[in-house]
Chain A
Amino acid sequence: MGVHVFGIRHHGPGCSRSLVAALDKLAPDVVLVEGPPDAAAVLDLVAHADLQPPVAILIYPTNDPQRGVFYPFAEFSPEWQALRYAQQHGIPVRFMDLAQRHRMAMEQTRLEKLIQQAAAEQAPACEPNGMDDAPGEAKQLPSAGDAPDGTEPSLYDDPLGMLAVAAGYQDHELWWEHQIEQRQDPSGLFEGILEAMTTLRQTCAERSEYTPHPYEAEREASMRQIIRQAEKDKFERIAVVCGAWHAPALVERGPAAADAATLRNLPKEKVEATWIPWTYSRLSYRSGYGAGVRSPGWYEHLWREPVAAPTRWIATAARLLRGEDLDASSASVIEAVRLSTALAALRDLPLAGLTELNEAMLSVLCGGDAMPLTLVRERLEIGNRLGSVPESAASVPLQKDLEAQQQSLRLKPSTEIKPLDLDLRREIDLARSRLLHRLNLLGIGWGAAQESRGKAGTFHEIWSLQWQVEFAVNIIEAAVWGNTVERAAGAAVASRAAGLTDLPALTGLLEQVLLADLPPAVGQILDRLQAIAAVSADVRLLAGALPPLARVARYSDVRKTDAVQLLPVIAGFFERITVGLSAACTSLDADAAGEMAQAIDQVQQSLDLLDWAEYRDQWQATLVRLLDNDAVHPLVRGLACRQLLEAGQLADQTLLGRARLELSAVAPPEQATAWLQGVLRGSGMLLLHRDTLWQALDAWLVELADDAFVAALPMVRRAFADFSGPERRAMGDKVKQLSASKTSRLDSPSQPVVSDQHIDRARANLVLPVLAQLLGVSISTGDQHG
């Protein structure tokens, strides 16, 4: 019977359905699938009950796992269905693409050449030798390290785009969906695809601007050779499942000698293959199978519900909305289905597609509000399905990277709890700390950081280590983020940061990331911080986020983090706080005022830490504005007074004036005490050393009417409650002397009052030399004064 070629689109559910029907009809005795032959060893696992899509085959060079390539499969992928078919019918299945052991080696050589070329181009200005290369390849150069695989640029993955444009579609996916996936009658589909592709390839070959995929010749040669091998092995009905683009090249196979020549002497490196679990959200990433899928959940729906897919889709969406307490009545579902059908008719489509359904739901179910629709997009269109792989699947590169690091850092995993004391000044301990922090970010809680006690803080980290068997699973899960611990942690954090919306959580994450030393993630979190800060109306949150940032900016030295990128963010925070502060401080109740006072303290601390003259002035100007604003809570006014006083920006006379105003008899006692609380902030020192304040307080207490005094007493007590014992004693002494020294005080307000009379000068002289030595001054020749 010979060879039957089925050109498909990767991850197309319509294609899958047609393919299954075609395979049933053909009953092949071998199935060849476009995929890496390197993975032949793990193909048996398809039969394993624990291998549940979405999963991916991961192929990576043994000595450099970072260059791994993923081949994801969803339940609706034609390739997966082909594999399942072969496994269910007990017939052999083979992968027939160019083996990754060659491809990776070739890619590596090519990249090295490009890097050399780029270097050569940069040195002597504009040598035109680079012009011969395809522009797409040149552009790929900077990103080559980032891409998890290093496959072709996207334009070439989508030759169908040309057909779509010819058909008047702007969206290639949409064209394919209308033409192929929504096709009700699958007969003749593969013939049609083959014919279209043949014409397309001919046209492309004639056009000079078309550049073939990298390695296209080698890949197709390999596919043809493997088909020939199957023929040689006496298989009679050979089913070939490949990307639509390759189909014509596999039908007209030509002479074997040419292909053998193409494949001769290809470079080679050792690779390994394994299955890893995949997620729908990552299915949309570009990887081994080229362009990703935008709406995996929708495709799965199309695959599972071939009949009345649109109606069921809207009904499912309505259930989802109802689950979130949004109105979605059955009547609305009916109307949404009607509208989607009418829209499809207006657009001359056989069936309502995802666009029509979304538009209908937006209009009917959501009343024009796009928010509920994003829910549908996230939960249904993309979906959150996570695949699983059997435990027997070989270990992932992340695991190997971790093992390598454990060895080089001499950290052995053990299920016992072990303490670990790290001195961050030592290179190896710093690296250990980094590893542990990164693993924590990946949800692998091997080490738990302990409070460091006793030893001088910043250089030491105390950890408690305990390895748990479940970590093996965590590592496999984390493997979707990257193939090394560093990269995986970076990607995981970036994705987490993108989902966070509150500032304290973000700054907390930022601190962790700085500890884990992941510079690219730092940049992403900073961007996110700025974006959130811009829309945050809450000055308290902004202020709360400030101290960690300031700390990092100031003390970046131990871990050598680059603090420069933090500075603009901090500056932005300051700007926003100074603009919003006075409005945020008005009309507060006592609790809110307490929080606001804390926020002001935090800003002040950060400013003190950073010591920026420009912002200090701006900040002080803002505080001065608070002083006179009656709508501001007295606690906050008092605190502003205190901060200005400490900064030396408030003269004693002004303080006295303010204190008299705030503590005047007109002011309700609870406001006066709140102000006092703000000024004192739990420390009596100010009161002891600023006599103006002392006097004002004294005058206020004396002037209070009896019942007002009784009423105010608990609050005054509260304001004084946090004073330390010595402070209270000193205050008591001061009160004792109050009457005696009252008159002299105004003349020399800040001089301590000491009386000469009780001093034994002879004995006092004895201690003077020691005292002088301690203070580092010389005494004037035995002369003494009081």
Chain B
Amino acid sequence: MAKTKSAPPAEAAGSEPILRRHAEQEFAEELTVLREHDTRAKPPNWALSPWAVKLYIVGGKLDNGFVVTPKYIGNDRLMEIAIATLATDRALLLYGLPGTAKSWVSEHLAAAICGDSTLLIQGTAGIDESAVRYGWNYARLLAEGPSVDAMVASPMMRAMQLGKIARVEELTRIASEVQDSLITILSEKALPVPELNMEVQARKGFSVIATANNRDKGVNELSSALMRRFNTVVLPVPEKFEDEVDIVERRISQLSRALELPAEKPALEEIRRVVTVFRELRDGVTLDGKTKLKSPSGTLSTAEAISVMAGGLSMAAYYGDGVLRASDMAASMSGAIVKDPVQDVIVWNEYLQTVAKERDGWKDLYRACREVL
């Protein structure tokens, strides 16, 4: 991270250098320009119209030539569903594997719709109702008795009062009884405060974006009552092979610079092989669509493909000849694939025997992987 220590970007001059800025700060210019050129109807309390929000998310060009960078690369229609959901004041649940840009999309949607992505509840097993509803400032509560001033509003409550978007990260990690307190908020759009004999009613524009991943074990399954109050959008892993190769390649060259590995940039061919293996195992079918395969228990996300490549690179740099070879990757690749010591070994073995063995130019990979198994 040595490089980020250099002078902060011009527009942030004067403020403290921050490691990561919020979406609405980072893309303030785009949001401003979009707002200026937005002529279509806005739902109440929205900063932008749904069309402008979509443009902000998927990227594009304004009539005056201003280029909006794409925030989400993938299926535009999914983003349309997400935006339409929020426009109908329904809550949105972004569901998907780890590493499919759920939180990223949620942050940008909130930034574009209400200009504020900070009304955030980070879901953990440890949070209690006060994180979703409200808590008390106990010193004041003791001194003055129950009053509005002694109340500590949660981000959810503030979003309701302001008519903004509240974000809930990792919804499935929150204990079920705390999840349940969301039900009233989502259906009645109101939050009763019995201690003060009052309630907070949401202003127009209020909605909730929750994210959850559907792969983790030991999470709190959403009750069907809660599920019913969300529109669910499943974010998929990269659809196109070339997209995924592209993502891995970019990320790897950044990484190897950051880690200052004395190894050569990996050949595109190696990246393609790793991505091929991951995609085939993940999809349960070979890329040519001819052979079906079993899928291992792990996710095999793009992020893992990146770490396999990074592991291979450092092996090549420190213990190899500086050039990434199949043998450098074999161990980390097997490690990424074999998460369950019994079933996954079978899957991986079958893959090697029935697919890798026969493939032209894959002999080295096949042998290296057989060795580490």
Contacts and interface: CB of A to CB of B under 8 A. Distances in A.
B90 to A, nearest CB: 6
A535 B294 contact: yes
A346 B85 contact: no
Interface residue tally on A, bucketed by range: 35 or more
A148 B150 CA distance: 80
Contact of A576 (B77, B230, B231, B350): B350
Interface in A532-580: 532-535, 537, 572, 575-576, 579-580
Contacts of B342: 583
Contacts of B354: 534, 572, 575-576
A668 B284 CA distance: 43
Max chain A Cβ within 10 angstroms of own Cβ: one of B224, B233, B284, B292: B292
A561 B217 CA distance: 50
A367 B354 CA distance: 36
The secondary-structure label for the interface of chain A is helix
B247 interface: no
Contacts of B230: 367
Interface string B343-373: 1001001100110000000000000000000
Contacts of A347: 80
Contact of B292 (A360, A368, A369, A534): A534
B294 A537 contact: yes
Contact of B85 (A327, A339, A355, A366): A339
Max chain B Cβ within 10 angstroms of own Cβ: one of A327, A342, A345, A531: A342
B72 to A, nearest CB: 16
Contacts of A369: 234
Contact of B353 (A342, A532, A579): A579
A414 interface: no
B50 interface: yes
B80 A364 contact: no
Interface in B218-232: 224, 227-228, 230-232
Contact of B294 (A355, A367, A534): A534
Interface residue tally on B, bucketed by range: 20 to 34
Given A335-B90, A359-B77, A363-B233, A346 B353 contact: no
A335 B231 contact: yes
Nearest to B84: A342
A30 to B, nearest CB: 47
Interface string A66-106: 00000000000000000000000000000000000000000
Contacts, number: 91
Contacts of B343: 537, 583
Contacts of B349: 579
Contacts of B85: 339, 342, 363
B77 A339 contact: no
Contact of A346 (B87, B228, B232, B234): B87
Interface in B32-82: 50-51, 54, 77, 80-81
A535 B54 contact: no
Given A343-B81, A576-B354, A363 B231 contact: yes
A512 interface: no
A338 B227 CA distance: 17
B122 to A, nearest CB: 22
Contacts of A575: 350, 353-354
A343 B292 contact: no
Contact of B54 (A346, A359, A530): A346
A367 to B, nearest CB: 5
A364 B292 contact: no
Given A339-B88, A368-B232, A576-B350, A532 B292 contact: yes
A355 B292 CA distance: 29
27 contacts: A331-B228, A335-B231, A339-B88, A342-B87, A343-B81, A346-B84, A346-B87, A359-B77, A363-B81, A363-B85, A363-B231, A363-B233, A367-B230, A368-B93, A368-B232, A368-B233, A369-B234, A531-B291, A534-B292, A534-B350, A537-B294, A575-B350, A575-B353, A575-B354, A576-B350, A579-B346, A579-B353
Interface of A: 327, 329, 331-332, 335, 338-339, 342-343, 345-347, 355, 359-360, 362-364, 366-370, 530-535, 537, 572, 575-576, 579-580, 583
Nearest 7 interchain pairs by C-beta: A534-B292, A368-B232, A368-B234, A342-B84, A531-B292, A363-B231, A343-B84
Interface of B: 50-51, 54, 77, 80-81, 83-85, 87-88, 90, 93, 95, 224, 227-228, 230-234, 284, 291-294, 342-343, 346, 349-350, 353-354
